A and B are shown apart, each in its own frame.
Chain A
Amino acid sequence: MEYLLLIYGNEADEAKMTEADRSAMHQEFGRFTQSIQQSGNLRAGKQLQPVATATTVRMRDSKRLVTDGPFAETREQLGGFYMIEAKDLDEALEIAERIPSTRWGSVEVRPIVPMRS
């Protein structure tokens, strides 16, 4: 079963991090990514540009509405994701809790609809 781990954090706080803290965080993320790659759980994972770069598209009455910004303004913003393979929700949660930013942000775990052949 595949799960998407959506990584939320407060961009404003993260922007205030010192260079040393930021590099320590990147290293920690790197070690985490490597560990779930080695365990065979990793499908994909990326960091996103800040929400300031987000654009939202809607189609209404066959007309395209393009707006600046994310779908919804929230206190924490989606900053990245991992797509993983796990045998059940418990395993997915075990992996999610090891994501470094769970200590200051939050991670939403979403099951992915299985592909029907």
Chain B
Amino acid sequence: MNLESLYREEWRRVLATTVRLTGDFDLSEEAVQDAFVAALQQWPRDGEPANPCAWLVSTARNRVVDQIRRRARFQEKQEEIEQFVSLEPFEIDLSEAAMVDDQLRLIFTCCHPALAVEAQVALTLRTVCGLTTEEIARGFLLPVATMAQRLVRVKRKIRDARLPFAMPPKDKLAERLDGVMLVVYLVFTEGYAATSGKMWIRRQLCEEAIRLGRLLCELVPRNPELRALLALMLLHDSRRIARASPEGEIVTLEEQNRELWDRREIDQGVPLLEAALREGARSEYAVQAAIAAVHARASRAEDTDWPQIARLYEVLFQKRPSPVVELNRAAAIAMAEGPSTGLALIDALESRGELAGYHLLPAARADLLRRQGRWQEAAEAYRQALALVANDPERRYLARRLEEVEGLQSADRALGTPSIIH
């Protein structure tokens, strides 16, 4: 086996078990890194050990013990020596069950609610996924120094506040799993949101989120909410190629070439979601996945079951009564019942003022006005949206639409005023 794929596959397991054996998060991370470097040097020379994972764990563990011993000698601190002595009786439990538990403990520690959410995300990518600090920084479009600082701070808190490397207590398990799911979802949306910039690295975030989702489904079997989250990610990810043109321009769901959708992901996502819903998944992820599944089932945009999508947005709105969800619901109702119904809902929403400054509100109005052939009003709404939009691909999309309706507007004018030509 080549070492790079070994690193990708075994990093998390080796680290998780090393942390359990040594109880030191920070030292373990360094030591595991060293162990992989040692493997790179020794295995080609001495041959690959019979159990590579055990070799890596015991090498890493020995390095941590060396570190603690060196530190203890240097500081001559009795308690550190005691800590080291307590490491002595040493037997690696590498049973599948023990390693599954280790990985879950690692994930729960990284997603501990006592840590800031953005720190949880960074730490999970670093520790559970084995991404480098540079990769994480690039994924979040942040300077490497900022990300490095964030990781240092969070590890310091884990050490100084003594965050346990442990499974949450039974009565907190559901709540803590919600926290883990949020981290996975944030990693995914961060990667999915932007179609600009370093696309390949952001794509990596989506892949990592899906890997994490799969891992969690394996580690916590028969959990419907986890499966719904994985289904949601797969169904959205299935559109990754279709949703942007080769030049990086936004392609709306309606305009997407559905041949480009990833069938494999849809064929995994839909049954996964169906099973999750049968087993009682009711989270927002499940509802969002259900919406994505309705889209996935339509082989042409005009086959989309909009009444069903409108109903699902209603369910989502009951769970999370936010004006953004309300806007999406209005757009779905417009597609199901006609633009005028949708426009009335959007106007009502606009008059409440909660979405003032949100570019997607005038953009949604503009879209419906365009569908009604009210070019001049549509153009006005596109201009409002353009004044508010911050992200470049969306700006280009809106500008393209504006140009389109302006063209249609002047065409109308030309056709509608034959008297002048006379």
A89 near B114 (CB under 8 angstroms)?
yes
User: Does B49 sit within 8 A of A, measured CB to CB?
Assistant: no
Q: What's the tally of chain B residues with a CB closer than 8 Å to chain A?
A: 13
Q: Which of A109, A111, A116 contacts B77 (CB 8 A)?
A: A116
B78 near A111 (CB under 8 angstroms)?
no
Most B CB contacts (10 A, CB to CB) among A1, A90, A91 go to A90
A-contacting 9-mer, from B36-44, B155-163, B214-222: B155-163
Q: How far is A5 from B174 in the complex, measured between Cα atoms in Å?
A: 26
A111 near B161 (CB under 8 angstroms)?
yes
User: Does B246 sit within 8 A of A, measured CB to CB?
Assistant: no
CB distance from A32 to the nearest CB of B (A): 18
Residues of B within 8 A of A90 (CB): 163-164, 166, 168-169
Most B CB contacts (10 A, CB to CB) among A89, A91, A116 go to A89
B79 near A111 (CB under 8 angstroms)?
no
A111 near B162 (CB under 8 angstroms)?
yes
Interface size range of chain A in the complex: 10 to 19
Residue of A nearest to B165 (CB): A88
Residues of B within 8 A of A94 (CB): 169
Q: Knowing A93-B114, A94-B169 touch, does A88 contact B78 (C-beta < 8 A)? A: no
Residue of B nearest to A111 (CB): B161
A88 near B77 (CB under 8 angstroms)?
no
Residues of A within 8 A of B168 (CB): 90
Question: Contact string, A74-98, partner B, CB cutoff 8 A, digits 1/0?
Answer: 0000000000000111110110000
Residue of B nearest to A94 (CB): B169
Q: Knowing A93-B114, A116-B77, A117-B78 touch, does A88 contact B166 (C-beta < 8 A)? A: yes
Within 8 A of B (CB), among A19-69: none
Q: Which of A88, A116, A117 contacts B163 (CB 8 A)?
A: A88
Within 8 A of A (CB), among B128-170: 160-164, 166, 168-169
Residues of A within 8 A of B160 (CB): 111
CB distance from A80 to the nearest CB of B (A): 21
Main secondary structure, interface of A, reads mixed
B163 near A89 (CB under 8 angstroms)?
yes
Q: How far is A109 from B169 in the complex, measured between Cα atoms in Å?
A: 19
Q: How far is A90 from B162 in the complex, measured between Cα atoms in Å?
A: 9
CB distance from B84 to the nearest CB of A (A): 16
B162 near A89 (CB under 8 angstroms)?
yes
Residues of A within 8 A of B162 (CB): 1, 88-89, 111
A89 near B78 (CB under 8 angstroms)?
no
Q: How far is A93 from B168 in the complex, measured between Cα atoms in Å?
A: 12
Residue of B nearest to A91 (CB): B164
CB distance from A79 to the nearest CB of B (A): 22
Q: How far is A116 from B75 in the complex, measured between Cα atoms in Å?
A: 11
A117 near B79 (CB under 8 angstroms)?
yes
Residues of B within 8 A of A88 (CB): 162-164, 166
Q: How far is A68 from B169 in the complex, measured between Cα atoms in Å?
A: 45
Residues of A within 8 A of B169 (CB): 90, 94
Residue of A nearest to B167 (CB): A90
Residues of A within 8 A of B78 (CB): 117
A89 near B77 (CB under 8 angstroms)?
no
B166 near A89 (CB under 8 angstroms)?
no
CB distance from A16 to the nearest CB of B (A): 32
Q: How far is A105 from B166 in the complex, measured between Cα atoms in Å?
A: 29
A residues at B contact (CB < 8 Å): 1, 87-91, 93-94, 109, 111, 116-117
Closest 5 CB pairs of A and B: A88-B164, A88-B162, A111-B161, A89-B161, A90-B164
Query: Could you show 8 A-B contacts with beta carbons less than 8 Å apart?
Result: A87-B164, A88-B166, A89-B162, A90-B163, A90-B168, A93-B114, A111-B160, A117-B77
